[in-house]
Amino acid sequence: MSVRKLPFIQAVKLATIDESEVIPTTLYYDQSRVFIGREAREKCSSPELLIEDFKVELGKLDPDNPTRRSAAAADKSPRRTALGLAKDYFDESLKKLETALALHGLVPPKKILIAEPLSLADTDKATEAWLSNYRRSIRKVLQGKFAEIDFLPEPFAVYQYYRYGCRHPIVSEKRKHVALVLDFGGGTFDVSVVESTKAGEISQSGINARPLAARSIAVGGFYINRVLANDLLHEALEKKQNKSDLTKAINFYNEAKNADDEYLSRLNDQQRAFFRNYKTLLQNVERAKISVCKSIANWDLNADLTKVGAYPIPVPVNPFERDGPIASLRLDASKVRKIYEERIWSQRLKQAVVNTITGAKSELNGQGITIVLLSGGSSNIRWLRPLLERDLRKELPDAQILELSESFQEIVAKGLATECARRFYTDGQGDFRAVTYNRLCLALRPDDSELEIRRFRPTGQAFASTRLEPLEDGVLLPSASSLRGLIGQPLRWKVHLSKPPKRQLDYFFLRSSFVVDDHVALHNVESKRVHTPAKTSFQQNIEVELTIREDGTAEPRFIYSRGFNAPETAVAGRPFYLDMTFAPNESVGETYLGFDFGTSTSAFSYVSSHEITEIEERSQSSGWRELSELVNDLPYVAAAPLARFLSETDQKKRSDRGREAVEGLLTLATYVAYADFCAHSQKTSSHFKGLPHRSAGPLWALLRNLTKVENRNLTFSAPIRDLFDGQNYDQHNQWIDEIAKSKHGKEFKIDFVSLLGHFGNAVAKIFVDWQFGVFEAVTPKRFATNKFHGIFRTLSGASQTFINVLEYEGSQPFADSDVFIVNSKEGTALNLSPLFVWGLNRLSTEEEPELFEFDSEKANQFAFKAIQFRAEQIVGEKSPAHEIWIRLRQMREQDQCSPEIGGLTFQSFTM
């Protein structure tokens, strides 16, 4: 089902930092300077000096007792504790953010909402205090920078995005749903069950969703990389090498992967060599994994993956030797699928999903899971859906698994912005503030007797104004218990035991379970017993008391007697940490910053109350809704500037964004029409020679000439002639003239919503049957003469990454820099290059490829403009892109025949 995004989510601003909305969570220290993100990768002089994968470490150490910086390292780089790394990363990110916001005339907000993993339930990674340590670490590194710091679990942000952000038609329909949310990122796999109410509007007051069960395990993209790298190392290892030494070395690396220079200097030569070799291998594996997965069109578990090109990886034969011999191994799609299915899904992810569903059953009252929502960068490895369908039919008999035809990387950041908007309408509450997301259960054992699971009866002032349903035996707090107004207050329950604990009381606080030996379910792992004071007199019942702090710390006490004349007799247990969302004081802000601090990549979203109300008003307008829907239907070259127009709420800047959006649509329409003409015209002409530069007036003139004078030579681009033959032609002409006035600072009047609606709908008609994109990994087909195969990647929507691909087979060895439109049903393709060029920026940098469009001619050189905000690329006679210069030079003299290519085969796979 097509997802029709409405104005709100199109208006969410993701900050562009270093020319990208997705920032690698990496650091590099060069003497006293620190670089982050793409800069860190570009500046890093040696692979082992790049720092990454430190987010999960933040929860393992008490931030109030960090490792001190060593004197030897003081002048070189910070001691690389996770806390120090996070502080440097946050400081540098916020500096870049302030610069990015200033470019748009925006002031950094004083409230920040940070995405967090759920409390880790992974026995080999988590500690009892992980979530508390993580929150306190983040608050420590942000101290003094924000008036309010709040947290939202990542899967809850995902749910908000699906429901209110992209407004998926199934999630946002006015019916009750039970959603299983799977957020598979770089460091963690988060699973949650969320029950919705029927209300589905972002401006609806009240709480519209209840979390019923949730857990995280420390398995993500970096974990997959380690599994792949370890297999490759064992495959390449010299026979004389001891495999147990390799295992020890890998464990050593995992404990010290981001150690500082001083620590590394104390290692022996073999340890340093392994550290460098292994880190280099992990980085190579990450690139190979992404390349292989991007080339997969068919994600069926039984698909033939032999057509998918393998990626070569250099692997050291002796990883304990620096600059030693290298084995050239290949990572292929079949190997990735086998490891993903057997060692990632079967061994780790599957049970986490099953346990979470089981934990929610008691709260669902017989309801089943109705929908499954996917998110996270590692969900772009799309075997998760078929594995769910194959292995969890019993648990998900009627569930519909929803996938978005876009990258999963930006979902959490946009979900944070969506939650901020919800808080604006709910007086600061949102849907997931100060709420438990697993049942809190308690089992007691007095004096080494049998374990008792008894009914607890709420008592005391804290519960006086709270209506609680009768609790099941052993349950203190059901899932989705709101703790608003209860933070810091003693919460008490009475319980009757079969015998009083005269010597001692063993207690087990558990998450949605009564299996006391399950360390994943147990909260109070480190302390389970309190001793009874001498000469204690017991009442018929004992009382259990919990005082819960805003960070989730729960302080237990067991009260044995309480009388009018006698003193209270009670014993305190050791504090533990409750599965609940953060609970600061509620307040409504004017501006909000959402920070998706991810293990692999991060992103910032920005939303203000002014924007929220304005965009919601726009959602009532059919014109604005139409434009929002068009963003999903148009190729990237037109969709990106249109999305920027939709996100602009500043009146002064809106006209510039509107003009850019018009020019984006006209560029696409004109260049496609021109290619159509060159493919089907037999006469000599010089239309392109008359285009001085890529702006609204000249583009409109060229497009008019092509559609009016050369109409008989146009085949598939004919729908755009409606712009000139229809009743709105005079109005279009007038608006184009007005755009010229706006560029020269003159007074103008343009209804951009109507203009963009007319142009956008006309252009979208072309792409009902045709797709805009690039060919990738085209290689000769084995055992066939003049046959090639690869993939065609569709470049559609407002932002990268582009995940929709077709398998291609035919007689043409297409280049990966040329941009085409293809008709997959007819098996035809038409080259739009050199008017569009993919990855022109890769000639001088290693950054991610971007789409560029011909912009103008300057002194016998040609200027190309990037679709996103990036540096202009100049192509001259002596530039590395010399062939592009030759082709454009020929086109400036005379239009060149570029026939439509036929006889191609495309295959699409839908899961």
Helices (H), 17-79: 37-43
Give dist(CA 562, CA 566) in Å, integer: 7
Integer CA distances (angstroms), 110 to 143, 147, 497, 557, in order = 12, 5, 50, 37
- Residue 842: count of CB within 10 angstroms of its CB: 15
Rounded average pLDDT over 271-278: 91
Of 110-114, 335-339, 587-591, the poorest mean pLDDT is in 587-591
Query: Does the pLDDT of residue 119 top 80, yes or no?
Result: no
Decide if pLDDT at 223 tops 60.
Answer: yes
Question: Of the candidates 130, 123, 114, which has an alpha carbon nearest to the alpha carbon of residue 59?
Answer: 130
Interval 871-888 mean pLDDT: 91
pLDDT of residue 362: 83
Would the pLDDT of 202 be above 50?
Answer: no
| HSE value, Cβ hemisphere, 13 Å, CA-based, for 86 | 25
Q: What pLDDT does 76 receive?
A: 43
Residue 36, number of CB atoms within 10 A of its CB: 25
- pTM of this structure: 0.84
Q: What is the DSSP string of 608-638?
A: EHHHHHHHHHHTT-HHHHHHHHHHHHSBHHH
Among candidate residues 681, 907, 898, 675, the one with its CA nearest the CA of residue 807: 907
Residue 290 has pLDDT above 50, yes or no: yes
Q: How far is CA 813 from the centre of its chain?
A: 34
Residue 671 has pLDDT above 90, yes or no: yes
Chain mean pLDDT for the chain: 85
The fraction of the chain above a pLDDT of 70, given in percent, is 89
Q: Average pLDDT, stretch 626-647?
A: 88
The secondary element (H helix, E strand) that includes residue 112 is: strand 111-116
Cα dihedral 206, 209, 215, 216, rounded to 10, equals -80
Q: Are 436 and 193 in contact (CB under 8 A)?
A: no
At 634, give phi and psi (nearest 5°). Answer: -95, 155
More confident call, 104 vs 257: 257
Amino acid at site 563: G
Q: Could you give the 3-state DSSP secondary structure of residue 432?
A: coil
Contact between 909 and 305 under an 8 Å Cβ cutoff? The reply is: no
Antiparallel, parallel or unpaired: β 371-375 and 400-402: parallel
Q: Taking 80 as the threshold, does the pLDDT of residue 806 lie above it?
A: yes
- Express each pLDDT in 11-38 by its tens digit: 566 788 887 888 999 999 987 789 999 8
Q: Identify which of 773, 717, 745 has the alpha carbon closest to the alpha carbon of residue 659.
A: 745
Q: 48-87, pLDDT tens digit by residue? A: 889 999 998 888 888 887 654 433 333 444 446 889 999 9
Residue 2 has pLDDT above 50, yes or no: no
Instruction: Determine the average pLDDT of the residues in 409-422.
Output: 82
Q: Both tokens of residue 159?
A: 């749910």
Q: Are 692 and 709 in contact (CB under 8 A)?
A: no
Tokens read off for 228: 């792949």
Beta pairing, strands 771-780 & 873-875: unpaired
Name the 3-class secondary structure at 786. Answer: coil
Question: Token digits for 253?
Answer: 């690396």
Residue 436 dihedral angles phi and psi, to the nearest 5°: -80, 150
Largest CA distance in the chain: 109
Cα–Cα dist 37/99, whole Å: 15
Q: Both tokens of residue 836?
A: 């569009």
| pLDDT recorded at residue 17 | 84
Run of H or E residues at 664: helix 651-680
Which pLDDT does position 544 carry in this prediction? 95
DSSP-derived secondary structure letter, 868 = S
Output the CA torsion sign for 247, 248, 253, 254: positive
- Find the length of the chain: 911
Segment 349-353 mean pLDDT: 94
Is residue 218 within 8 A of residue 125, CB to CB? The reply is yes
- Quote the CA–CA distance of 641 and 627 in Å, as a whole number: 12
> Measured between alpha carbons, how far is 455 from 472 in angstroms, rounded to an integer?
6
Phi and psi at 138, nearest 5°, equal -65, -45
Q: Which of 189-193, 228-232, 236-240, 508-512 has the lowest mean pLDDT?
A: 236-240
Residue spans of the domains in the chain: they are 7-218+369-431+592-607, 221-343, 440-577, 622-766, 771-907
Q: What is the model's pLDDT at position 366? A: 83
Cα separation values, 48 from 92, 317, 899, Å:
21, 18, 50
pLDDT tens-digit map of 679-724: 988 888 999 999 999 999 999 999 999 988 877 778 888 888 888 8
Confidence of residue 876 (pLDDT cuts 50, 70, 90): very high
The pLDDT of residue 220 is above 90:
yes
Alpha carbons 619 and 753: distance in angstroms, whole number: 13
Inter-residue long-range contacts of 704-707, CB under 8 Å, 24+ positions, other chains counted: 706/670, 706/673, 706/674, 706/677, 707/673
At 748-784, the pLDDT tens digits run 788 899 999 999 999 999 999 999 999 998 988 887 7
Write down the pLDDT at residue 472.
Answer: 87
**455: helix, coil or strand?**
coil
What is the predicted pLDDT for the residue at 77?
A: 44
Please report, for residues 232, 321, 737, 744, 900, the alpha-carbon distance to residue 747 in angstroms, rounded to integers and kept in the order given: 66, 71, 12, 9, 44
**Mean pLDDT lowest among 211-225, 346-360, 452-466, 846-860:** 452-466
Give me the percent of the chain exceeding a pLDDT of 90.
44
Start-end of H helices in 318-429: 333-339, 350-364, 384-391, 411-425
Confidence (pLDDT) at 199 = 57
Whole-angstrom CA distances from 84 to 61, 74, 598 are: 12, 13, 16
Q: What separation in angstroms does the CA of 359 have from each of 102, 194, 261, 355, 512? A: 47, 12, 45, 6, 5
Spatial distance between the Cα atoms of 524 and 507, rounded to a whole number of angstroms: 8
pLDDT at 262: 73
Residue 278 makes CB contacts below 8 A (sequence gap 6+) with: 229, 233, 249, 250, 253, 319
Residue 423, pLDDT score: 76
pLDDT at 506 over 60: yes
739 touches 748 (CB < 8 A): yes
Contacts of 766 (CB under 8 A, 6+ apart): 669, 672, 716, 717, 719, 720
Distance CA 279, CA 407 (A): 27
The amino acid occupying position 878 is K
Quote the crossing angle between the two packed helices 221-236 and 243-255, to the nearest 10°: 150
- Judged by average pLDDT, the poorest of 164-178, 312-326, 648-662 is 164-178
- Give the mean model confidence (pLDDT) for residues 582-607: 80
Distance CA 832, CA 672 (A): 7
Give yes or no for a contact between 109 and 591, defined as CB atoms under 8 angstroms apart. Answer: yes
Between CA 867 and CA 881 the distance in angstroms is: 19
As a whole number of angstroms, the distance between CA 199 and CA 375 comes to 23
The amino acid occupying position 248 is K
Q: Are 772 and 796 in contact (CB under 8 A)?
A: yes
- What is the structure's pLDDT at 668? 97
Q: Are 898 and 675 in contact (CB under 8 A)?
A: yes
Which stretch of 241-255, 311-325, 656-670 has the lowest confidence by average pLDDT? 241-255
**CB distance 699 to 670 below 8 Å:** yes
* pLDDT at residue 172 tops 80: no
Q: How far is 908 from 97, CA to CA, in rounded Å?
A: 40
The sheet that has 873-875: what strands, in order across it? 836-838, 851-858, 861-866, 873-875
Burial class (CB in 10 A: 0-12, 13-18, 19+), 615: buried
> 512 falls in which pLDDT band (50, 70, 90)?
confident
Residue 582: predicted pLDDT: 77
